[in-house]
Structure 1
Amino acid sequence: MATEHYFYVLLCKDDTFYGGYTTDPERRLKEHNSGTGAKYTRLPSRLPVKMIHVEKFSNRSDATKAEYAFKKLTRKRKIAYLKEGSR
């Protein structure tokens, strides 16, 4: 069975975004909310987090490229990207 690769975006309690890569979005969300996820989301001021965007890719390279591109965007462009993805 082929592994599925995902780029995801979290909305943190402090209204910031966190973009990441995973092969299991449900598990990853639980990790973030339990404080064992990324260093960025471990701060109490950022918890809990909500997964607001998930994109599926056929390979890790494409998923991590999407993550990297998202992280380079300004907040305004991140918001526009997320709105476009929800259509």
Structure 2
Amino acid sequence: MTGFVYILRCADGTYYVGSTRNIDHRLRQHQDGDGAEYTKRRRPVELVFCRECSTVAEAFGFEKRIHGWSRAKRQALIDGRFDLLPGLSRKTFRR
């Protein structure tokens, strides 16, 4: 069964990242205030990125990776600037 990973832009300009089996149903839930507590308080929301994945597990894994990304990296993904993604990775330095 396929899955979707998506990013919503909330009314306050923040991003919400999620995954689902049925993107149309999930978007209706978010718009109706039934999707998530985060988006409920920040409606209306706008779908700014959506990618179909071959499995729900793949979509969930991609969602979790995006959760760790900076706003700039999320924006590059939304804008389709895939060439910028590696340079926007957070780097950890060992001392």
Alpha-carbon displacement from aligned partner over 1:28-79 (angstroms, at most 9, x marks no partner): 1110011100111111xx1000111111111122111110111100111111
Matched length = 82
In the alignment, structure 2 segments of 5+ residues that lack a partner are 83-95
1:78 to 2:66 alignment:
no
Greater relative CO, 1 or 2 (CA 8 Å, sep 6+)? 1
Q: Which has the larger radius of gyration?
A: 2
Instruction: Please state how far the C-alpha of 1:85 moved relative to its aligned partner.
Output: 6.5
User: Take 2:61 and 2:81, find their aligned partners in 1: how far apart are those partners?
Assistant: 16
Percent of aligned positions that are identical: 29
TM-score, scaled to structure 1: 0.87
In the alignment, structure 1 segments of 5+ residues that lack a partner are none
